[in-house]
């Protein structure tokens, strides 16, 4: 049974993430992921953002300043925090249809929600992404998956 503190922290994280998604998108970037950790009384907040053609170091700096101003305004933490804004890089999680569309033609590894023919993950070339369906070419042939069958994916080298 989750504790009240765990439930409060989950709600806090979801609310903060929602506010930051709006800000990041307003600034012209795609919100990829947020990682929030607590270290004693302090927090660390990592925001991963991207945009078509990639995000530069200068753009990460600009976005970090915009997020910092918003955090100063809403003051969500009771003590000190560190903020880091960066590109998701090659380890970018593939979760949404748009993530997979962007990775079409790349070699990917997907973890499945439930095993498919005994396999819990599939690795191969992402051949197509249409609406809610992926086609991945493996050494055993093409595999069609619905996006809801995929727990998460990533590009592999």
| Alpha-helical regions (H) of the chain | 4-26, 57-74, 97-102
Look at residue 6 and tell me whether its pLDDT is greater than 60. Answer: no
From-to residues of CATH 2.30.30.180 in the chain: 97-155
Of 113, 133, 134, 117, nearest to 125 (Cα)? 134
Look at residue 7 and tell me whether its pLDDT is greater than 80. Answer: no
Q: What pLDDT, on a 0 to 100 scale, did the predictor assign at position 78?
A: 81
Cα separation, 114 vs 55, in Å, equals: 34
Q: With 0.85 as the threshold, say if the pTM is over it.
A: no
Cβ atoms of residues 71 and 109 within 8 Å: no
From-to residues of CATH 3.30.300.70 in the chain: 4-91
Q: What is the pLDDT of residues 8-54, one digit of tens each?
A: 667 788 899 999 999 999 999 999 889 988 888 888 999 999 988 78
Q: Quick one: which H or E segment has residue 43?
A: strand 42-50
Question: What separation in angstroms does the CA of 89 have from each of 23, 54, 63, 94, 154?
Answer: 21, 9, 16, 12, 11
Phi-psi map region of 48: left, alpha, beta (phi>0 left; psi -120 to 50 alpha): beta
- Give the fold, CATH level 3, of 97-155: SH3 type barrels. (2.30.30)
Q: What pLDDT, on a 0 to 100 scale, did the predictor assign at position 3?
A: 45
Q: What is the pLDDT of residues 94-152, one digit of tens each?
A: 888 888 888 889 999 999 999 999 999 999 999 999 888 999 999 999 999 999 999 98
Cα separation, 108 vs 143, in Å, equals: 12
CA 113 to chain centre: 17
Average pLDDT in the chain: 88
Q: Which residues lie closer than 8 Å to 129 by C-beta, 6 or more apart?
A: 97, 100, 101, 104, 135
Q: Hey, what CATH class is 4-91 in? A: alpha beta
Q: How many CB atoms lie within 10 A of CB 48?
A: 22
Cα separation, 87 vs 67, in Å, equals: 15
């Amino acid at each position: 049974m989750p504790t009240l503190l765990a439930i409060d922290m989950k709600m806090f994280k979801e609310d903060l993430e929602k506010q930051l998604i709006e800000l990041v998108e307003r600034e012209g970037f795609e919100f990829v992921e947020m990682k929030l950790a607590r270290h004693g009384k302090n927090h660390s907040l990592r925001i991963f953002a991207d945009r078509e053609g990639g995000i530069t170091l200068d753009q990460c700096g600009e976005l970090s300043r915009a997020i910092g101003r918003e955090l100063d305004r809403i003051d969500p933490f009771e003590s000190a925090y560190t903020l880091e804004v960066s590109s998701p890089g090659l380890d970018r999680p593939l979760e949404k249809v748009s993530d997979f569309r962007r990775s079409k033609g790349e070699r990917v590894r997907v973890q499945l929600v439930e095993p498919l023919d005994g396999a819990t993950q599939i690795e191969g070339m992402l051949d197509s992404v249409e609406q809610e369906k992926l086609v991945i070419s493996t050494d055993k042939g093409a595999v069609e998956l619905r996006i809801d069958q995929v727990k998460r994916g990533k590009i592999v080298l």
